[in-house]
Structure 1
Amino acid sequence: MSTYDVRIWTIREYQGRDRKTGKDRKTYRVRWEVAGREFGKTFQTRAMAESFRSRLVVAQREGVAFDKPSGLPEPMARELNSRTWYDLAVAFVDMKWARAAATQRKSIADALTTVTPAFLSTRGAPPDAEMRRALYTWTFNKSMREGDPPSDLAPAIKWLKTNSLPLVEVASAATIRKALDLLASRIDGGPAAANTVARKRAVLYSALKYAVELRYLDAHPMDFVHWRAPKNEERIDRKVVPNPQQARALLTAVRERDPALEGFFACMYFAALRPSEVMHLRDDECDLPESGWGWLHLSGSTQHVGEEWSDNGEMREDRELKHRAKKATRDVPACPELVRILRHHRQHHGKPDGRMFNAPSARPGPVSKSTYLRAWRQARGKALTPAQQRSALARVPYHLRHAAVSLWLNAGVPATQVAEWAGHSVHVLLKVYASCIDGQDETARKRIDSALGTPPAGAEDTPEERPTGDGLST
């Protein structure tokens, strides 16, 4: 649809404030009309605005038809429409791939797979499951895309390439809202978890920001859509945090089932290590004296990622510590109880490859995720009551780390010190990990009673002891 009915107006200057810095700034908007419909484009400098306006004027003088949907001269419209969401998403994945950890690569692919159906036409679409598999396993995996697509996915991939919306349509508010609504739903139609929505929304925002960076879009389309994400409860639920008696019962159950894994879970409870940090822990990083406190000198983490997402084709990938530089280390104290457990583990289960916790097979390597999760499920079944097993208490091993951090905070260790040991910022620590351990409420109430000078239960103030209205004893 094209027309020659075009009017081009003068550049309008706007005085305002930068939303990020708050500083005064000027913007320059080019305005024109195509077949009675007004269009506009805003620029940061007058020179850029004049350059764009001159292109419109030249096209009008030369008798070039203007595209009605985009309002641009047809050559410019064809260039714009040739850039599709599919092309942008693939370019975004390739840009992120080299510096992203394997787990982050999977997260990006998962988010882009979720939102892409909002940016496709519906005519002749393949089945949803087939389309998702093509996107996740091939389109958004740079390593897999280096070869030809598998024969069973080739038709779906061809359809995706030819039926992806141009970016000019992707940027519309209705399309962006449709994509955001997809983020908030699971495949089965139920509501997605708030943290999942937040993670996927961040990926979508970054992909569209990359389009702005490449000058494919003039402004970020999500900034103009008022969409409310599900509220994300970041604090750890106290119901998942085991108290010391429950934690020790779980460790005992693990020891009775698989003695080689007791130290694995003990590192998480007594030293607040992440599972990936425990898997990476090496013998020479453990300072374990015969008595007293020791130290764990952490140097990295080992992630279970899947061979198709790693650079070396291995199921696991060694990475730096979370939120740290590649060669950064973190020292964590080991209490005497943990020292005794690790010394026993080193003596009876150590292997010469240097890792403290190894797979039971002859092939050297860290203990697998499936192995330690299976051991944890069985330990919960033995150590907890039926009611506790049905609850969220210590449902996953990571809850031991929450218990450790909560214990340190409740013991009065300064938040700055806890944050350093746990590998978090103080802000995140107090916002997320400041959970109360089961049974601490009574202790807290007693402290408040003591501070208020509240008499013991059953005791009554005598008239002489009862305060008057001015707060002084009579």
Structure 2
Amino acid sequence: YVTPPATGEGPWPPSASPDESGQTSIMQGTLLAFRWAVIPKNAELDPPEELEDAYGWISKKSLLVSSLEDPKILRDVQYRISFKLDGTPAAGETSRRRRRALNTAVEYAIERKLLTENPLTALKKVKSSSSDRVDPRVLVNKTQAAQLLASVSYVGTWDRKKGRRLVGFYAVMYFAGLRPSEAVGLRKADCFLPEKGWGVLTLHDTRPVSGKQWTDSGERHDKRGLKSREAKEDRPVPIPPPLVAMLRAHLKEFGTAKDGRLFTNERGGLVGSSTYWRVWRDAREYALSPDLQASILGGRPYDLRHTCITTWLNAGVPVAEVARRVGNSPEVIHRVYEGCIYGQEEVMNNKIERELDWPV
């Protein structure tokens, strides 16, 4: 835990000397040194020459882990993880994720005998005013979804196939609720694609994007198990005929990567987040009117997953089944999509009325 440096506090290396405002370069130098220090493989190394002074400053200013036993310091740490660097409240899920990370660090400190007990257990959680519920304005309707997927195929030249090879990538998010990291690692062996009727995608792993220094493989996309599941646990997801047809067409035209993955970049490698973000941005310009482009409608590829989940809920699929298919808990589905379920009140009222069967 490090208290942010004050303006003019030194000494600082030339690469991190204060600018006219007295803050930007200082903070940049501190962050560079901190980012270097927390990389596991650098634990036994001396810092680079350009970071020595900043690293030394951090080492001197950092409080000992045992200082978390001081309620005042611990409460200050909890307060800071609930806000972004610009001072605005972080999203509710972001705050919860940071607290879980802090708790994990504290438990590790206990194992290392740096703390005797977990001080977080006696600290009341700070409720964030920010909500992680999905904004209904990001959801696309059926016509818009069709236009967006068609527009993806127009991104890039015909020969390079930049957009065409990713139509199915976005389609598995819209029709099957896959996360982008799950779509990146989807393989032909995971797909049951009959000529007619429903198919099944059986998900086994995910390929999240991380810095190379953080992954075991040394690649930006590390191979991991499914989110919120045991390492070897899979997740079967039934897929409707339109998606089955699209994936069959994709395999016929593009085949697979050497390791059997369905979706690749132009060189046959893993689809990077920067690639599918750029293609999606361009597709929105082709598919949407200027006023909708300026809105948050389908602003992110992940909004296709949100649309899929909302579609299933509004179709009357039980929350528990939706949660199973998309790899969330029912509690998360209830909380995150609370404001997106509509048109069900009358149906539910009729069910209750039939069950009561009370004479009027």
Same fold per superposition (TM over 0.5): yes
Q: Following TM superposition, by how much is the alpha carbon of 1:450 offset from its aligned partner in structure 2, in angstroms?
A: 7.6
**Conserved 8 A contact 2:187-2:262:** yes
**Conserved 8 A contact 1:119-1:175:** no
Q: How does 1:36-435 map to 2 (within 5 A)?
A: 115-117=1-3, 124=10, 126=12, 127-136=26-35, 138-167=36-65, 169-226=67-124, 228-257=126-155, 258-353=163-258, 354-361=260-267, 364-434=268-338
Unaligned runs of 5+ in 1: 1-114, 454-470
Matched residue SS, 2:248: helix
**Conserved 8 A contact 1:118-1:175:** no
Change (3 A) 1:452 1:215: closer
Q: Following TM superposition, by how much is the alpha carbon of 1:233 offset from its aligned partner in structure 2, in angstroms?
A: 1.8
Change (3 A) 1:352 1:261: closer
Alignment: residue pair count: 333
Superposition CA RMSD, Å: 2.9
| TM-score between both structures, scaled by the size of structure 2 | 0.82
**Conserved 8 A contact 2:79-2:126:** no
Matched residue SS, 1:392: coil
Q: Following TM superposition, by how much is the alpha carbon of 1:399 offset from its aligned partner in structure 2, in angstroms?
A: 1.0
Q: Partner letter of residue 10 of structure 2?
A: G
| TM-score between both structures, scaled by the size of structure 1 | 0.63
**Conserved 8 A contact 2:172-2:243:** yes
Q: Following TM superposition, by how much is the alpha carbon of 1:404 offset from its aligned partner in structure 2, in angstroms?
A: 0.9
* Structure holding more strand per residue: 1
C-alpha separation in 1, matches of 2:345 and 2:253: 45
Q: Partner letter of residue 33 of structure 2?
A: A
**Conserved 8 A contact 2:83-2:89:** yes
C-alpha separation in 1, matches of 2:125 and 2:346: 45
**Conserved 8 A contact 1:321-1:329:** yes
Structure 1 residue aligned with 2:17: none
Q: Following TM superposition, by how much is the alpha carbon of 1:402 offset from its aligned partner in structure 2, in angstroms?
A: 1.2
Q: Following TM superposition, by how much is the alpha carbon of 1:123 offset from its aligned partner in structure 2, in angstroms?
A: 6.2
Identity %: 36
C-alpha separation in 1, matches of 2:66 and 2:241: 63
Q: Following TM superposition, by how much is the alpha carbon of 1:280 offset from its aligned partner in structure 2, in angstroms?
A: 0.5
Instruction: Report 1 or 2 for greater relative contact order, CA contacts < 8 Å, sequence distance ≥ 6.
Output: 2
C-alpha separation in 2, matches of 1:161 and 1:288: 57
Change (3 A) 1:125 1:424: farther
**Conserved 8 A contact 2:173-2:302:** yes
